[in-house]
Structure 1
Amino acid sequence: MTVAQPDVTVVIGAYEAMPYLVECLASVEAQTLDAARLEVIAVDDGSRDGTGECLEEFAARAHMAVTVVRQENSGGPSGPRNVGLSKATGRYVFFLDADDRLGPEALERMVAMADRNGTDVVLGRVEGINRNPPKSMWGKTLERTDVYSSNIKFTLSAQKLFRREFLERHGMSFDESLWTGEDALFTMEAYLRADGVSVVADYTCYYLVGRTDGKQVTKTGSYTLRFDSARALMGLLERLVPPGPKRDVLMVRPFLVTVLPQFGPVFLRNDEDIRRTKMELAEPLMAAYWNEGVAQRLRVHERLRLELVARRRPDLLVDVLEFIKAKTAPTPVLKKRKTQLYLAYPHYGSREAGIPDRVYLAEPREAREFPGWRDDPTENFLRGFTRKVRRRLRRRPVRPGGTAAV
């Protein structure tokens, strides 16, 4: 008798997951997708709290096919996910963390979305329980999109539906050398290689649970691991995306989400050795990937802090962080007939500091928050056109007699 291929393989990597695992497994049993269309590969990564026994009890009673693998601790989430992926037989794979849970219709809706549109990755709306998940990508259900024209770059966790044939065709797996950010690397690569991505925004598919026992993976690990994660993701973008605006828009993500927090309020609490080490770890990243195309996509205080990191000025950075910590509002400075707004954070206009005024220039999306600023597209265009003409005239050779060559 031929067994039909399941629609979805749910891969659950579990380490010390009790008691959260109980509700996680209950959410799998509660799926409206027929049990015959579903399989579970659960990998106990060397737990000693009863996680393995709970998984085996689930396998014995569940109506869907369940495989339990018990192994020595691998040290991170990549190993168990790769084991589960290697054993998956479903048309799609969904990576479910053992302390989280699914909405009852999650898999049915996501499979239908992928089948309807032929997309390789499907995102389902995420809500947090004692955690704050990303929100900017859930404004609208998208049948077909990509990483450039949507905000999906700000959700790079592994909890997505992936077409298994697509993953196998590209030889994709989780990087086991990374202790954090391995899912960001995997998911960003999937976004970039996918023949379309879908977003289910009108139904909560996934509940991200905040643990109260201090064992949340994302809350552990030293700051050096964050730089490892940023380095890996930036390197992936460098390999897969040519230089230019498309790379810049994606590079915002590792700078904003991974690098910048290391130079936020925590930097004020760091001792001098840690501050110096952070600057040293950031230096090659800033030299290789920080540019005006990335900078102009950030808010002023974000851009300013990263610019000071790039210039290796922790002294000035501390001034800015103290200013922000005090919740002081920067003085708005309007120029060019009120069409340019500068935010006077510390060292604005200081010759001694040497930070160009452009670092303090608010982009339109931020400038709109301040009364008095005028968004004048015509004037902005003419000003930009005039600058280009002047630059070209300066570059033209001068003939004897003082006239520019035409």
Structure 2
Amino acid sequence: MNAPDVSVVVAVYNTMPYLIQCLDSLVAQTIGLDRLQVVAVDDGSTDGSGAELDRYAARHPGVFTVIHQANSGGPAAPFNRGLDAATGRYVFFVGADDHLGPDALRRLVEAADAWESDVLLGRVVGVNSRHIYQDIFARNQVDVDLFDSPLPRSLANTKLFRRELLENYGIRYREDLPLGSDLPFTLEACYRARRISVLADYDCYYAVRRHRATNITYLSRHADRLRTVEATTAFVAELIPAGRQRDAVLARRFDHEIAKLLEDDLLRLDRETQQLVHDGIGRLVRAHLTEGIAAQLNAETRIRLALTRDGALDDLLAVIRQDAQGGVPPTVVEGSRRYAAYPGFRDPARGLPDACFEVTPDWYAKLDATALAWETDERGEKVLTITAASPVPDLAAVGAEPLAVSAEEIPGEVTTLDRGPRGTTLRIRFRASDLLAGTGPTGQRRAVSAQVGGFDPGRAAGAQTATGAAGSAAVRAPRIRAMAPLVRRRGARLYVVTPVLDESGRLMISVVPVTAARVAAQLRRTLRRIR
């Protein structure tokens, strides 16, 4: 019997009912079951997932290899067990709550064969407002450079790997990491690969955000996430020599995994955990935050990171509290230098260096949303109107106009309403029709951010970075409560458009389809509140 072209490895732990759609998408692949092996590893599920795997194996003999094992605490061990059992020329890893487009594996295998790719990325799209960075999928690419591309922001394991590459270098998942084990695995595979390619003209992979968000990534605690980022950062430093290439990979770690540990929710943790996070990130900053990496981060992230290195825990918490509750602090301008006058700035009792608070012109893009409303514009269209405030009295005088505001790739209409000694008031409008037109059938959540110097979609928050690249700033809404959603029809489906806040008080716009599962999830949340 010939070896299959591709082995799909699925790590399974309590993923019903999502598992059924995942498995259905595999057996429906146009590549044909004779060219496919599915290795599914049940990691001690208690919700019937293991029995469901056995049913699929019975229906499709010779296609499924099902392995049952005691719970290991994370996906690394089941992925390794599945990889050991794989026999295909290529291996593709699938999350058990995700699913594939029907023609995904055929297209991926044909492209990898034609391009002689060792690693091939197929286009990934988010479901239920799960955010997926899309810049790597701008076009088909035969040869992608790991260090001169957006690839370091897309190092999940949901890719096609040549199995020979993995075996030659002994690349396996780190089982000491309960989460984040796919990053060192994928990074090493990309680092060792002779060719990395991108297939962007087909939606290959649908990454699902569970309605109840019960998987290990969503439930992970700060201490676990800190241990993971410490381990992965050390792995990067060991794998890649110091310099531009290492910085290209670590910039993503600082912008995303590390920066997210310093979100506003740090204020709600116990003192011991706060201190653990402050001290741990301080060590990472001292060891690995180079000037080249810092230059790629926005001002808010740079300030918080600097305070883990040069300040005490209370200094960091004071800055986070200001952003979360007090809004944008004043700006001190001295010649060509600008400083954010957060609590602790030039406080003799704190003794913090001015450099901790130094900001670049992108600081002037920092806005607080003060009001949200659904309105009807002059053309009779529904628009989301955001009233936003800047502490800068005259943005034009400091070279901050034009100021562009966007929901990622969708630009808003910005109008200056008032200028005065206390700052500038802006009106930002997004047409509901634009938000709907730019959203795929599974929905999307976009970050709202501002930029100095005109609109550049590549600098918007959420496009390449979690918090916004240098030159942009996420729009915050520290004192705004949730507002009513807008329901609109597009084609045969109803969509709900809602401004929401993330865990750090940053403004997002969510567009999601109305589905039975979503209605049921909302009903469960409502019932829990009533009880």
Instruction: Give the TM-score range, shorter chain.
Output: 0.7 to 0.9
- Of 95, 98, 102, the match for 1:97: 95
Structure 1, 267-276 or 223-232: larger mean CA deviation:
267-276
Q: Does 1:125 align with 2:108?
A: no
Gaps in structure 1 of 5+ consecutive residues: 376-406
Q: Does 1:371 align with 2:369?
A: no
TM-score, normalised by the number of residues in structure 1:
0.83
Q: Does 1:350 align with 2:350?
A: no
1:283, distance to aligned residue in structure 2 (A): 3.1
Query: 1:237-296: per-residue Cα shift (whole Å, max 9, x none)?
Result: 211222112211211122222111111111122232221121222232222112212111
Structure richer in helix, relative to its length: 1
Question: Which residue is equivalent to 2:500?
Answer: none
1:186, distance to aligned residue in structure 2 (A): 0.9
1:355, distance to aligned residue in structure 2 (A): 2.4
TM-score, normalised by the number of residues in structure 2:
0.65
Tell whether the 8 Å contact from 1:347 to 1:355 is kept in structure 2 after alignment.
Answer: no
User: Cα distance 1:197–1:166, how it changes in 2: closer, same or farther (>3 A)?
Assistant: same
Tell whether the 8 Å contact from 1:35 to 1:63 is kept in structure 2 after alignment.
Answer: no
Distance 2:100 2:341 in 1: 44
1:80, distance to aligned residue in structure 2 (A): 0.8
Distance 2:117 2:52 in 1: 35
- Of 31, 34, 37, the match for 1:36: 34
Matches within 5 A, 1:137-148: 137-148=136-147
Secondary structure of 2:261's partner? helix
Tell whether the 8 Å contact from 2:184 to 2:236 is kept in structure 1 after alignment.
Answer: no
Distance 1:95 1:158 in 2: 6
User: Cα distance 1:322–1:68, how it changes in 2: closer, same or farther (>3 A)?
Assistant: same
Matches within 5 A, 1:43-62: 43-62=41-60
1:39, distance to aligned residue in structure 2 (A): 0.7
User: Cα distance 1:277–1:115, how it changes in 2: closer, same or farther (>3 A)?
Assistant: same
Question: Which residue is equivalent to 2:324?
Answer: 325
1:334, distance to aligned residue in structure 2 (A): 7.5
Question: Which residue is equivalent to 1:181?
Answer: 180
User: Cα distance 1:13–1:354, how it changes in 2: closer, same or farther (>3 A)?
Assistant: same
Query: 1:111-166: per-residue Cα shift (whole Å, max 9, x none)?
Result: 12211221211111111222222333222222210221111211222211111000
Tell whether the 8 Å contact from 2:12 to 2:49 is kept in structure 1 after alignment.
Answer: yes
Structure 1, 352-361 or 244-253: larger mean CA deviation:
352-361
Structure richer in strand, relative to its length: 2
Distance 1:224 1:357 in 2: 25
Matches within 5 A, 1:282-361: 282-326=281-325, 328-329=327-328, 342=338, 344=340, 346=342, 350=346, 352=348, 353-356=352-355, 359-361=358-360
- Of 4, 9, 12, the match for 2:10: 12
User: Cα distance 1:155–1:343, how it changes in 2: closer, same or farther (>3 A)?
Assistant: farther
Tell whether the 8 Å contact from 1:12 to 1:84 is kept in structure 2 after alignment.
Answer: yes
Question: Which residue is equivalent to 1:74?
Answer: 72
Matches within 5 A, 1:250-265: 250-265=249-264
Tell whether the 8 Å contact from 2:92 to 2:161 is kept in structure 1 after alignment.
Answer: yes
User: Cα distance 1:343–1:147, how it changes in 2: closer, same or farther (>3 A)?
Assistant: farther
Tell whether the 8 Å contact from 1:141 to 1:200 is kept in structure 2 after alignment.
Answer: yes
Secondary structure of 1:145's partner? coil
Tell whether the 8 Å contact from 2:364 to 2:400 is kept in structure 1 after alignment.
Answer: no
> Sequence identity of aligned pairs in percent?
36
CA RMSD of aligned residues (A): 2.7
Question: Which residue is equivalent to 2:200?
Answer: 201
User: Cα distance 1:163–1:359, how it changes in 2: closer, same or farther (>3 A)?
Assistant: farther
1:28, distance to aligned residue in structure 2 (A): 0.4
User: Cα distance 1:18–1:299, how it changes in 2: closer, same or farther (>3 A)?
Assistant: same
* One-letter amino acid of the counterpart of residue 111, structure 2: M
Gaps in structure 2 of 5+ consecutive residues: 367-397, 403-451, 455-531
